[in-house]
Amino acid sequence: MADSQPRILILGAPGAGKGTQSARMADHFDIEHVTTGDALRANKDMDISDMDTEYDTPREYMDQGELVPDAVVNAIVEEALSQAGGFVLDGYPRNLEQAEELEDMTDLDVVLQLEVGEGELVHRLTGRRMDPETGDIYHLEYNPPEDEDVEERLVQRDDDTEETVKERLRVYRESTEPVIEHYEEEGVLEVVDGEQSPGEVWADVKATIEDTV
Ligand code: AP5
């Protein structure tokens, strides 16, 4: 593996495990976790009305499972990448226009896709909970917290209801699957079986990065 820090793109459907695996990559390779979802959640009520958008804040888009307008997200990613050495980029690009923008922002060393079937995705998202104090991600069945205090303070994301999850998956199929096909056609896509346990997925992700970079 090269000395410089890797620049990794992780793709996959909502609930495929991008956040879970990105946290491990960031820690193991000592790189930034650049995530548009977290950045937008931290700025859900920012005023974007001067960007000629349908709604005035990201919240309306996110709570309905729709994509936030490209201009808002492109600016977030450009700023974050300009400050990062190595990184794992999670949640972007989500359509072909964003993929084109990304090409102007940076080169990539690895493009990973976590592959998970749709029934499993719904189960993972509706059972996901987050610790609001640490940001750690749990699952009520697959990965419950051991500490009772943590268990009591867990919260569910506003967009993890069954109805919104279905819309997020529809948007993914329509807008983001073409991005995956684009990287596949370029011959740079590394596919990892995301239906294994988190530890098994991590072993494959780590080996793929080490073999590719
Ligand atoms: P975002 O936050 O990016 O959500 P997402 O892509 O829908 O992905 P998730 O965070 O839901 O899932 P994940 O793949 O990270 O899975 P996780 O590791 O948590 O985006 C949210 C919204 O923001 C979008 O809908 C949009 O509105 C907006 N947005 C974001 N980026 C945008 C962009 N570029 N353009 C426009 N709008 C944008 O795992 C899920 C659950 O499964 C957890 O409970 C976890 O514990 C469990 N789990 C993980 N791995 C495993 C495993 N191997 N086995 C069993 N359980 C597992």
**pLDDT, tens only, 161-172:** 999 999 999 999
Query: Residue written as tokens 């011959």?
Result: 187
196 is in an annotated binding site: yes
State which amino acid sits at residue 120.
E
- With a CB cutoff of 8 Å and minimum separation 6, the contacts of 105 are 77, 78, 81
How far lies 173's CA from each of 21, 104, 162, 167, 192, in Å? 22, 25, 17, 10, 18
* CA pseudo-torsion sign 179, 180, 182, 183: positive
Alpha carbon of 17 to ligand 1 centroid (Å): 7
| pLDDT score of 69 | 97
Domain coordinates of the chain in residue numbers? 7-32+86-212
The SS3 call for residue 147 is coil
How far lies 198's CA from each of 24, 42, 72, 158, in Å? 10, 26, 32, 24
| pLDDT score of 4 | 79
Length of the chain: 213
Q: Would residue 129 show up in a list of annotated catalytic residues for this protein? A: no
Alpha carbon of 213 to ligand 1 centroid (Å): 25
Picking from 62, 57, 6, 7, the residue whose alpha carbon sits closest to that of residue 36 is 62
In what order do the strands lie in the sheet containing 189-193? 32-35, 87-90, 7-12, 110-115, 189-193
Q: pLDDT-based confidence at 2, cuts 50/70/90?
A: low
Atom of ligand 1 at shortest distance to CA of 137?
46
Which of 102, 126, 143 should be mutated for ligand 1, with most atoms under 8 A from CB?
Answer: 143
One CATH from 3.40.50.300, 3.40.50.1970, 3.10.129.10, 3.30.420.40 for 7-32+86-212: 3.40.50.300
Buried b vs exposed e over 20-54: b needs ≥16 C-beta within 10 Å? bbbbbbbeebebbbbbbbebbbebeeeebeeeebe
| pLDDT score of 52 | 87
State which amino acid sits at residue 162.
E
Q: pLDDT-based confidence at 1, cuts 50/70/90?
A: low
| pLDDT score of 213 | 87
Query: What would the pLDDT profile of 21-46 be if each residue is shown by its tens digit?
Result: 999 999 999 999 999 999 999 999 99
152 is in an annotated binding site: no
Atom of ligand 1 at shortest distance to CA of 168?
25
Alpha carbon of 1 to ligand 1 centroid (Å): 28
Tell me the C-alpha distance between 120 and 207, whole Å: 24
Q: Would residue 128 show up in a list of annotated catalytic residues for this protein? A: yes
36 is in an annotated binding site: yes
Q: What is the ipTM of this complex?
A: 0.96
Alpha carbon of 48 to ligand 1 centroid (Å): 23
Q: Would residue 59 show up in a list of annotated catalytic residues for this protein? A: no
Q: pLDDT-based confidence at 10, cuts 50/70/90?
A: very high
